């Protein structure tokens, strides 16, 4: 999925990451809380997601408020990750400038030696859940007369609106 976040002042950034789970309460992803994405979400806990399938001519957009998942959820997911991914979470200080790739490889080696068996979750790493307030479903149609349906959450439920392409 693609996620867009913004600073408190509104400066946007967007990147692609892996959706790890979704259910009625929202969409869950995991990251370094101290990286750019985490800092932006701390300043401005609103985000937008996009799922795009070009061959099918379909797209789904989701907007909502983002909350950290519980420590237990983050611990459970972290423990399910491959060892190399766990070590990478410790070794990589996400979004920071590094001298070279060798610097990162050395950090992975060092943390591998520090944690020869079970690797704990770094305190600065964990999950977020985007709780949706808006869904927009887009379907490609001939002549660029695409279908767009928006679902907006309101106190009484969901309001469905057709949007012009």
> What confidence score (pLDDT) does residue 85 get?
94
Q: pLDDT tens-digit profile of 140-154?
A: 999 999 999 999 999
Pick the catalytic residue from 144, 148, 150, 152.
Answer: 144
Percent of the chain whose pLDDT exceeds 90: 89
Q: Where are the beta strands (DSSP E) in 44-107?
A: 46-53, 58-68
Write down the pTM of the prediction.
Answer: 0.90
- The answer to whether 55 is a known catalytic residue is no
Where does the pLDDT of residue 29 fall: very low under 50, low under 70, confident under 90, or very high at 90 and above?
very high
Q: Domains in the chain, start-ordered, CATH in brackets? A: 2-80+124-162 (2.30.110.10)
Q: What mean pLDDT value characterizes the chain?
A: 95
* Residue 66 · residue 38 · CB < 8 Å: no
């Amino acid at each position: 999925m693609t996620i867009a976040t913004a600073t408190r002042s509104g400066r946007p950034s967007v990147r692609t990451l892996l959706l790890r789970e979704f259910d009625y309460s929202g969409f869950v992803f995991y990251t370094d809380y101290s990286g750019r994405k985490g800092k932006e979400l701390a300043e401005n806990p609103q985000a937008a997601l996009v799922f795009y399938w070009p061959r099918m001519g379909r797209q789904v957009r989701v907007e909502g408020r983002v909350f950290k998942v519980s420590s237990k959820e983050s611990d459970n997911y972290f423990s399910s990750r491959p060892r190399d991914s766990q070590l990478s979470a410790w070794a990589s200080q996400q979004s920071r400038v590094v001298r070279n790739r060798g610097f990162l490889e050395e950090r992975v080696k060092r943390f591998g030696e520090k944690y020869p068996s079970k690797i704990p979750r770094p305190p600065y790493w964990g999950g977020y859940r985007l709780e949706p307030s808006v869904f927009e479903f887009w379907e490609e149609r001939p002549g660029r007369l695409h279908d767009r349906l928006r679902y907006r959450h309101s106190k009484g439920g969901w309001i469905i609106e057709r949007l012009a392409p």
